[in-house]
Amino acid sequence: MSLAAQLFIATGAVAATVIVHLAGLAALLAILRRHRHATRMVVALVVNGMAILLAAFGLFALHAIEIWLWAALYRLLGIFPGLEEALYFSTSTYVTIGYGDVVLPAGERILGVIEGANGIILIGWSTAFFFSIVDRLKLLERNLQKG
């Protein structure tokens, strides 16, 4: 596959994952904003703990969807013979582990490095989102403790 074709395809995949991520974060934020803040400290700890769990699992699900999108692309292009191999490669590349036991053939390697860059950026975005949620919940707990 030509370099131009790889860049075109990778750009589409990155755009799709960014849109999925944006929509997912917006949905998570909307869900988290709807949860009522408790007026008693013990209840607040439980409610906030559940909100943190929801955010963590929601972020994990978002990244899983994005990894599966890349794996589906590799299968669609016929790069890997099976879904398991495509998913394994996509997961290790997206999270930048890159074991190296499964690699892309010459002519498709640009897709892999762009997926790695895509994963780093989206994981960083999720980290900032998660930190913001946890920080906001801690602030609510501090305000509740003050009275």
Express each pLDDT in 36-59 by its tens digit. 655 566 666 777 788 889 999 999
Q: How far apart are CA 52 and CA 60, in angstroms?
A: 12
Domain that holds residue 109: 3-146
Listed in sequence order, the DSSP H helices in 77-108 are: 83-94
Residue 129's pLDDT is 95
Burial of 102 (0-12, 13-18, 19+ CB in 10 A): middle
| pLDDT digits 0-9 by tens, 89-103 | 999 999 999 888 999
Using CA atoms, how far apart are residues 76 and 27, in angstroms rounded to an integer?
A: 29
CATH number at residue 30: 1.10.287.70
φ, ψ (nearest 5 deg) of residue 105:
-70, 160
For residue 90, CA distances in Å to 25, 26, 84, 108 come to: 22, 25, 10, 13
Answering whether pTM is above 0.75, one says yes
Give one DSSP letter per residue of 36-65, joined into a string. Answer: PPPSSHHHHHHHHHHHHHHHHHHHHHHHHH
Q: How many domains does the chain have?
A: 1
The mean pLDDT of 23-32, rounded to a whole number, is 91
More reliable by pLDDT, 10 or 139: 10
Give pLDDT, residue 36.
60
Residue 36's region, left for phi above 0, alpha for psi from -120 to 50, else beta, is beta
